[in-house]
Structure 1
Amino acid sequence: MLIDHSEVPKLLRRSHIHSGYRPLNKSLRYYVASAFRLHNELVNFWTHMLPFFFIYFYFLHPEIFFEAELRWPLVVLYSGISVLFVASSFTHLMHSRSQNDHVFWLLVDFSGIFVFSLCVGIQRISMKESSSFFSTDYWTTSGFFVIAPFWKTRDVIRLITCLSVAAVLYVPLLDRYFSSSTDLDPGLSLHSSAFMWLLISGIFMGANIPECFAPGRFDYFCYGHQLFHLCIFMVTWNVCEAARLDADSVNPELLSTKIDLFPTVMKILFLNVLGIVGTISVLFKIAKGKNEEQK
Structure 2
Amino acid sequence: MVCGYIITMLRAGRDPLSSVDVSSIKHLSFLPHLLRVLPSLPTLPRPQATVLTSDVPALFREPYILSGYRPAGQPWLCYVLSLFQWHNESLNVWTHLLAAAAVLLRLGLFVSGTAPDISSLPLYLHTLSALTYLSFSASAHLLQSRSELAHYSLFFLDYVGVALYQYGCALAHYFYCAEEAWRRSSLGPLLLPLTFLLSWLSCTSCCFAKARYRRPYPFRRKLFQMVPSCLAYVLVISPVTHRLLTQPWNQPVLQLHALHMAFLMQAAFFFSCPVPERFFPGRCDIMGHAHQIFHVFMVLCTVCQMEAVCQDFMERRSSMVDVHGEWSFWSAGGSFFVLALCCALTAALMSKRVQRQLEKEE
Common topology (TM > 0.5): yes
Report the residue type matching 1:132 in the other structure. L
Report the residue type matching 2:273 in the other structure. A
Query: After TM superposition, what 4+ stretches of structure 1 lie above 4 angstroms from structure 2?
Result: 255-258
Query: Highest CA radius of gyration, 1 or 2?
Result: 2
1:251 deviation in Å? 4.2
Paired residue total: 293
2:258 maps to 1:211? no
2:210 maps to 1:145? yes
CA distance in 1, matches of 2:72, 2:282: 21
Report the residue type matching 1:197 in the other structure. F
The superposition leaves residues 51-104 of structure 1 with CA deviations (integer Å, 9 ceiling, x where unpaired) of: 1101111x2223334412342222111121111111111111000111100001
Report the residue type matching 2:149 in the other structure. N
Q: Secondary structure at the match of 1:260?
A: helix
CA distance in 2, matches of 1:234, 1:122: 20
Does structure 1 retain, via aligned residues, the 8 Å contact 2:173–2:309? no
2:134 maps to 1:85? yes
Q: Which residue of 2 aligns with 1:105?
A: 154
CA distance in 2, matches of 1:74, 1:30: 37
Identity of aligned residues (%): 23
Does structure 2 retain, via aligned residues, the 8 Å contact 1:73–1:255? no
CA distance in 2, matches of 1:60, 1:113: 20
Q: Which residue of 1 aligns with 2:111?
A: 64
Which residue of 97, 119, 124 corresponds with 1:75?
Answer: 124
The superposition leaves residues 264-287 of structure 1 with CA deviations (integer Å, 9 ceiling, x where unpaired) of: 122212211211221111000111
Larger deviation, residues 143-152 vs 163-172: 143-152
CA distance in 2, matches of 1:271, 1:157: 23
The superposition leaves residues 92-147 of structure 1 with CA deviations (integer Å, 9 ceiling, x where unpaired) of: 10001111000011111111111110100111235334211221212111112112
Pairing of 1:19-168 with structure 2 (within 5 A): 19-57=67-105, 59-70=106-117, 71-125=120-174, 126-150=191-215, 151-152=217-218, 153-168=220-235
2:39 maps to 1:8? no
Q: Which residue of 1 aligns with 2:27?
A: none
**Structure 2, gaps ≥5 residues long:** 1-48, 175-190
CA distance in 1, matches of 2:93, 2:265: 22
Report the residue type matching 1:141 in the other structure. C
1:149 deviation in Å? 3.9
Shift in alpha-carbon separation, 1:161–1:149, aligned structure 2, 3 A: farther
Q: Which residue of 2 aligns with 1:269?
A: 336
CA distance in 2, matches of 1:255, 1:10: 53
CA distance in 2, matches of 1:178, 1:46: 36
Pairing of 1:246-285 with structure 2 (within 5 A): 246-254=312-320, 259-285=326-352
TM-score, normalisation: structure 2: 0.77
1:221 deviation in Å? 0.7
Q: Which residue of 1 aligns with 2:289?
A: 223
Q: Secondary structure at the match of 1:266?
A: helix
CA distance in 1, matches of 2:69, 2:317: 52
Does structure 2 retain, via aligned residues, the 8 Å contact 1:64–1:75? no
CA distance in 2, matches of 1:179, 1:258: 26
2:251 maps to 1:202? no
Report the residue type matching 1:64 in the other structure. V
Q: Which residue of 1 aligns with 2:6?
A: none
Coordinate RMSD, CA, aligned: 1.9
Larger deviation, residues 101-110 vs 151-160: 151-160
